[in-house]
């Protein structure tokens, strides 16, 4: 994941930087297109399918805020934001990569057979009713002794002792950390129908790995009543949990 973030940052500087000169441009398009190219490196059949690639791009761009620039000053300011390793920068690029991967998975599940006469598109239905939406939740699992990210940790977000339902397909719960996610996990709990003005929900985050002692912690999320179901990632609203440090199990001497 970190390597992919760095690659997107590089294209921002060297590709977008040279193509921009006093033009009104939504720089998110270049970032998203590069993220799609990276995500589809091991799926060449999708990368060659312009309809699928455009579906992915539209899905992501419709769920992130447009960022327009028209001068070198604007380019420099936003480039610095994306090169910086601060929380806001990681949240923004991390969110884009999550959306791209989610769109790829959904298109693979929903696209029609190649023999179909027309292309498939992603369709979402939303009801107008009181609802409490949850933010996207992400965090990192590391080795307490070395600080290195842990591959293969099983992370579960529990609600009433059961895995919390996900807002959309492509957000597994439990989540298994992998080398490609650099120890990060992410969840998006399903919205809850309720007319209360505000509510505080309690979750339990459980982290397990056969080589480490399990860790659990409580997570509380306070939400406000809305009248539409969110179908996008809000980079500023994402909930970044504290890093979970696991202690390695030391074998007892025989």
Residues 56-89 pLDDT 10s:
888 888 888 777 765 444 544 555 455 444 444 4
Residues 135 and 241 in one domain: yes
**20 shares its domain with 100:** yes
**Predicted confidence (pLDDT) at residue 131 exceeds the cutoff of 90:** yes
Kindly state whether residue 194 falls inside one of the protein's structural domains: yes
Higher-confidence position of 85 and 185:
185
Residue 252 belongs to some domain of the structure: no
Interatomic CA distance for residues 81 and 158, integer angstroms: 34
Is 117 contained in some domain?
A: no
Instruction: Answer yes or no: do 140 and 84 share one domain.
Output: no
Asked if residue 160 has pLDDT above 70, the reply is yes
Query: Does residue 137 share a domain with residue 69?
Result: no
Same structural domain for residues 26 and 77? yes
Mean pLDDT, residues 116-136:
60
- The one-character DSSP state at 65 is -
202 in the same domain as 155: yes
Question: Do 30 and 101 fall within a single domain?
Answer: yes
User: Is the pLDDT assigned to residue 208 strictly greater than 90?
Assistant: yes
81 and 165 fall within a common domain: no
Query: For the chain, how many residues are written?
Result: 254
pLDDT of residue 83: 47
Residue 134 has pLDDT above 80, yes or no: yes
143 domain-assigned: yes
Q: Quote the CA–CA distance of 155 and 215 in Å, as a whole number.
A: 10
Report, as an integer, the average pLDDT of 108-125: 45
Alpha helix stretches (DSSP H) within 155-220: none
Instruction: Domain of residue 54: give its range.
Output: 2-110
CA distances from 92 to 81, 89, 100, 253 (A): 10, 5, 13, 47
What's the pTM?
0.56
Domain boundary among 110, 145, 172: 110
Name the token pair of 166: 């996900």
- What region, left, alpha or beta, does residue 98 occupy, with left being phi > 0 and alpha being psi -120 to 50 degrees? alpha
Is 170 a member of any domain? yes
Shared domain for 144 and 88, answered yes or no, is no
- 103 vs 1, higher pLDDT: 103
Task: Give the mean pLDDT of 5-14.
Answer: 49
Q: How far apart are CA 94 and CA 87, in angstroms?
A: 10
Residue 230's pLDDT is: 82
Q: Which of 79, 110, 141 is the last residue of a domain?
A: 110
CATH of residue 231: 2.60.40.10
Residues 22 and 64 in one domain: yes
45 is a domain residue: yes
Q: Has residue 218 been placed in a domain?
A: yes
Task: Give the total number of structural domains in the chain.
Answer: 2
One domain, residues 8 and 46: yes
Block residue for tokens 């690029």: 93
Q: What is the mean pLDDT of the chain?
A: 77
Looking at residue 180, the DSSP 8-state letter turns out to be G
- Indicate whether 254 belongs to any domain: no
Kindly state whether residues 240 and 137 are assigned to the same domain. yes
């Amino acid at each position: 994941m970190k390597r992919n973030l760095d690659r997107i940052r590089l294209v921002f500087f060297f590709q977008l930087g040279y193509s921009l000169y006093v033009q009104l441009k939504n720089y998110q398009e270049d970032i998203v297109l590069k993220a799609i190219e990276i995500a589809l490196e091991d799926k060449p059949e999708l990368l060659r399918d312009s309809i699928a690639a455009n579906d992915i791009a539209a899905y992501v761009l419709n769920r992130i805020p447009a960022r327009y620039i028209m001068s070198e000053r604007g380019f420099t300011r936003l480039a610095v934001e994306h090169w910086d390793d601060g929380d806001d920068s990681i949240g923004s690029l991390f969110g884009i990569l999550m959306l791209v991967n989610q769109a790829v998975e959904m298109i693979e599940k929903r696209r029609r057979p190649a023999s179909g006469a027309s292309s498939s598109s992603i369709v979402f239905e939303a009801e107008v009713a009181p609802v409490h939406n949850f933010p996207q939740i992400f965090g990192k699992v590391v080795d307490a002794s070395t600080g290195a990210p842990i591959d293969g940790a099983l992370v579960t977000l529990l609600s009433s002792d059961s895995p919390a339902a996900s807002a959309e397909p492509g957000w597994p719960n439990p989540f298994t950390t992998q080398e490609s996610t650099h120890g990060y996990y992410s969840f998006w709990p399903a919205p809850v129908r309720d007319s209360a003005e505000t509510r505080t929900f309690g979750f339990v985050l459980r982290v397990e790995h056969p080589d480490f002692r399990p860790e659990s912690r409580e997570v509380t999320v306070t939400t406000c009543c809305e009248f539409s179901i969110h179908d996008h990632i809000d980079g500023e609203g994402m909930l970044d949990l504290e890093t979970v440090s696991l202690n390695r199990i030391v074998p007892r001497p025989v």
